[in-house]
Structure 1
Amino acid sequence: MSWKYFNGNCNQDQPQGLTKLPERPPWRQFLSRAEVNPAEDEQYWKKLRDLARKDDRSIQRGKSFRVLTDKNGQSEIVDAVNAAIHLRRPLLVTGDPGAGKTSLAYAIAHELQLGPVLTWPITARANLVDAQYRYDAIARLQDAQLDKTKTGDSTDPKTLEKKPEPKEEGDLGDYIQLGPVGTAFLPSLLPRILLIDEIDKSDLNLPNDLLNLFEEGEFEILELVRRKRRQVNTVDPDATVTVRTADKDMEAPIINGRVKCCEFPIIIMTSNGERDFPPAFYRRCLRVKMPNPTPESLLPVVRSHFNTVDQSGWTKTQENLTSLIDEFLDKGNKADRATDQLLNAIYLMTRDESPSEAEMKRLQNLLFKRLSEAD
Structure 2
Amino acid sequence: MSDQDWKIFRGRGEPHDGLDGLPDPPPWRFARAMAAIGPPDADLDLKAPASKATTFLPSEAMIIAVNTALYLRRPLLLTGRPGTGKSTLISKVAYELKLGPVLKWSVSSRSTVRGGVYEYDAVGRLQAGKGIDPPVEEYLTLGPLGAALMAHSRPRALLIDEIDKSDFDFANDLLNVIEDGEYDIPELQRLGGRPLVTIKDASGRSVQIEKGRLISQQFPFVVMTSNGEREFPAPFLRRCVRLTIDPPTKDELTAIIYAHLEKFISMEKREEMTALIDKFLEDRQQSDVSTDQLLNSIFLTVAMRNRDARSFSHEELVAVRTALARPLSGATA
TM-aligned CA distance change 1:64 to 1:328, over 3 Å:
same
Task: Find the partner of 1:7 among 3, 7, 10.
Answer: 10
Alignment match, 1:275: 230
Is residue 98–residue 339 contact of structure 1 (8 Å, CA) maintained in 2? Answer: yes
Aligned equivalents of 2:8, 2:278: Cα separation in 1: 34
Aligned equivalents of 1:32, 1:222: Cα separation in 2: 25
Is residue 41–residue 153 contact of structure 2 (8 Å, CA) maintained in 1? Answer: no
Alignment match, 1:367: 324
Q: When you count helix as a share of all residues, which structure comes out higher?
A: 1
Letter of the 1:189 counterpart: S
Alignment match, 1:32: 33
> What does the per-residue CA deviation read over 1:59-85, in whole Å, with 9 as the maximum and x for residues that have no partner?
2211121123xxxxxx22111110100
Aligned equivalents of 2:330, 2:26: Cα separation in 1: 47
Which of these two proteins has the greater Rg computed from alpha carbons? 1
Structure with more relative contact order (C-alpha pairs < 8 Å, separation 6 or more): 1
Measured on the aligned residues, the alpha-carbon RMSD in Å equals: 2.2
> Secondary structure at 1:306's aligned position in 2?
helix
> What does the per-residue CA deviation read over 1:151-193, in whole Å, with 9 as the maximum and x for residues that have no partner?
xxxxxxxxxxxxxx7xx45x32211100001111114232111
The reply to whether residue 22 of structure 1 matches residue 26 of structure 2 is no
Alignment match, 1:298: 253
Alignment match, 2:83: 98
The reply to whether residue 261 of structure 1 matches residue 216 of structure 2 is yes
Alignment match, 2:72: 87
Aligned equivalents of 2:224, 2:6: Cα separation in 1: 23
How many aligned residue pairs are there? 323
Cα offset for 1:143? 2.3
> Secondary structure at 2:43's aligned position in 1?
helix
Is residue 283–residue 289 contact of structure 2 (8 Å, CA) maintained in 1? Answer: no
- Using the size of structure 2 for normalisation, the TM-score is 0.89
Alignment match, 1:244: 200
The reply to whether residue 140 of structure 1 matches residue 125 of structure 2 is yes
> What does the per-residue CA deviation read over 1:271-315, in whole Å, with 9 as the maximum and x for residues that have no partner?
01000001111111111111211110011211122245xx4x655
> Secondary structure at 1:47's aligned position in 2?
coil
Map of 1:326-365 to 2, 5 A cutoff?
326-330=278-282, 333=285, 335-349=287-301, 350-351=303-304, 352=307, 353-365=310-322
> Secondary structure at 1:329's aligned position in 2?
helix
Cα offset for 1:252? 0.4
> What does the per-residue CA deviation read over 1:101-142, in whole Å, with 9 as the maximum and x for residues that have no partner?
011111111111210101110111111111100111122222
Is residue 91–residue 288 contact of structure 1 (8 Å, CA) maintained in 2? Answer: yes
Alignment match, 1:190: 154
Unaligned runs of 5+ in 1: 69-74, 149-164, 229-234
Q: Which runs of 4+ in 1 moved over 6 A?
A: none
Is residue 31–residue 262 contact of structure 1 (8 Å, CA) maintained in 2? Answer: no
Unaligned runs of 5+ in 2: none
Cα offset for 1:20? 3.7
How much identity, in percent, do the aligned residues show?
40
Map of 1:34-73 to 2, 5 A cutoff?
45-48=41-44, 50=45, 52-53=46-47, 55=48, 58-68=49-59
Map of 1:108-187 to 2, 5 A cutoff?
108-145=93-130, 148=131, 168=133, 171-187=135-151
Letter of the 2:25 counterpart: R
